[in-house]
Structure 1
Amino acid sequence: MAKNAIVRQIWGNADTILFIFGGAAAEFSLNKAVDWLYFTGKLPADPLGRLFSTVVYAQQILFLDEESALRAIDKITAIHHAVEENRGMKIPDWAYRDVLFMLIHYSISAFELLERKLTGVEKEEIFEVFFRVGKRMNLKDLPQNYQDWLVVREQHLQENLLKSDFTMDLYKQYKKHLGFLRYMILLEGQKLVVPFHVKKLLNFSSISILPIFLWFYKISRKLKFDKLLKSALLPSDYKQQIFALDM
């Protein structure tokens, strides 16, 4: 993958990654297969730790050489197979596709929120990168291009999401681990990147106060004091890990 590839631009920026996983945290909570994350206990016990472990794998896939990236994908596959063996049942194939589709959607929506609109070619490039990941994981019934993905993605949203007790519990865990102010920022950020159907299921309003903050933050980046602003807002236990996401 070229050093200036759009996927590397997206996943080499801590700000964009935070929005990617903020959006994914909303959609994860609604997924009908979210009980698998409760089976391991890792997500509800430590949602922020789960975030960073996932980011590490994603960045390995996108920034390492091809052989190392393939090993990282195979390791992810092996971890999931071990969970399946422990539970005595298989994770539904559509659940794997849902996660892959989330990475595509939120890579695009987060970057467009913070930076600029992506071209059709760039969106196709993003799709192709994660399509190759899915093929390596032996996922079935993957759409073959970005336009086909748009159709299948909407079908998945309609069929595989449901507000449940897991949803409510996960949001309690987010609030517990983030604290009230950071939790409110998370909610406002989620409104800006999640699809309409997710907003509807979570009863999100169409109004967010975060764009005002983002405008101020973009100015702070130009003035080189954005790190101070982030230090004031980020959980102290994870500051260094978040800053290390910038590649």
Structure 2
Amino acid sequence: MKMFVDNNSVVRKIWGKSDTVLFIFAGASAEFALNKAVEWLYFTGKLPSDPLGRLFSTVSYARKIVFSSTDEANKAIDTMHHIHAAVEHSRGYNIPDWAYRDVLFMLIYYSIASYELLEEKLSDEEKEEVYNVFYRVGVRMQLKELPHTYVQWLPVREAHLTADLKKSEYTADLFKQYKKHLGTMRFKVLIEGQKLVVPDKVKELLQFRDHSLLTPVVPLYKISRLMKMDWMLKNILLPHGYKAQINELDVYAG
């Protein structure tokens, strides 16, 4: 059986640990709130009513693709494509292609940023490997104008950050919903975690200071993982409803 991602790929290491996935989730939740196309998900009502669940479902789809056979991964991608097509039909016009690319670009960027924060720097070849996986996802979703390589993608990513992000009433509402669903303490941790991985443009728009209160905590967290004590921190910080789902992500734990 041919797998969508090779068994020894760094992409599986990135998406096989819950803490790395959580930072992908944290970064994407910040950037997504700034995206000019976020109002599309307000159209269905699903995003404001359950922003964490909606974002986590996107992350879960990505993870399913990473650990599936090529046939199963393609089915999952096709399902995503059909769901969005149904929303487009209901609203009467298409979600812009750049909005799809933006979500894909978030998964690429935060996969790399989160792994490098918690593990080690990736080589150029490994970054290309990450890009290639999500490039193939984009091709399957029939996205246009995707750069063919990681190096070609870098300036396109920067252009998207400049053109497609703005602080709006949706941004304010989403962060209000994050706080409501997480609680004050966990929301504060989310903000500090976002500061560790989001690009400068996102920091600027959200008026984040450069320093995160979690910066000195990250080395301690790495030690706690080695001592098998990280579950205690996750138990404190994770919303109860997501603990089981997140624990299931630890394919490479230990």
| TM-score of the alignment, normalized to the shorter chain, above 0.5 | yes
Alignment of 1:222-233 (within 5 A): 222-233=226-237
Measure, in 1, the Cα distance between the counterparts of 2:55 and 2:168: 21
Which of 158, 165, 171 in structure 1 is aligned with 2:162? 158
**Paired residue type of 1:180:** T
* Structure 1 residue 183: Cα displacement: 0.5
**Residues 1:5 and 2:9 are matched in the alignment:** yes
Which of 222, 225, 238 in structure 2 is aligned with 1:221? 225
**Paired residue type of 2:200:** F
Correspondence for 2:186: 182
Measure, in 2, the Cα distance between the counterparts of 1:24 and 1:55: 9
- 149-158 or 41-50: bigger deviation: 41-50
Percent sequence identity over aligned pairs = 61
Alignment of 1:33-48 (within 5 A): 33-48=37-52
- 141-150 or 211-220: bigger deviation: 211-220
**Residues 1:120 and 2:124 are matched in the alignment:** yes
Measure, in 1, the Cα distance between the counterparts of 2:77 and 2:120: 30
Correspondence for 1:91: 95
Measure, in 2, the Cα distance between the counterparts of 1:157 and 1:48: 23
* 2:235–2:243 CA contact under 8 A, matched in 1: yes
Correspondence for 2:24: 20
**Residues 1:79 and 2:75 are matched in the alignment:** no
TM-score normalised to structure 2 length: 0.95
Correspondence for 2:33: 29
**Paired residue type of 2:225:** R
- 81-90 or 225-234: bigger deviation: 225-234
TM-score normalised to structure 1 length: 0.98
Q: Deviations over 1:124-177 (max 9, x none)?
A: 010111001110111101111111100100000000101000000000000000
Measure, in 1, the Cα distance between the counterparts of 2:165 and 2:55: 20
**Paired residue type of 2:239:** P
Equivalenced residue count is 247
Measure, in 2, the Cα distance between the counterparts of 1:145 and 1:73: 21
* Structure 1 residue 52: Cα displacement: 2.9
Q: Deviations over 1:21-70 (max 9, x none)?
A: 10000110110000011111112111221133223211221111100100
**Residues 1:109 and 2:129 are matched in the alignment:** no
**Paired residue type of 1:170:** L
Correspondence for 2:142: 138
Measure, in 2, the Cα distance between the counterparts of 1:53 and 1:98: 17
Q: After TM superposition, what 4+ stretches of structure 1 lie above 6 angstroms from structure 2?
A: none
- 103-112 or 51-60: bigger deviation: 51-60
In the alignment, structure 2 segments of 5+ residues that lack a partner are none
Q: Deviations over 1:169-222 (max 9, x none)?
A: 000000000011110111011111111011000000011110222222111111
* 2:51–2:177 CA contact under 8 A, matched in 1: yes
SS of 1:211 mapped into structure 2: coil
* Structure 1 residue 242: Cα displacement: 1.1
Alignment of 1:55-70 (within 5 A): 55-70=59-74
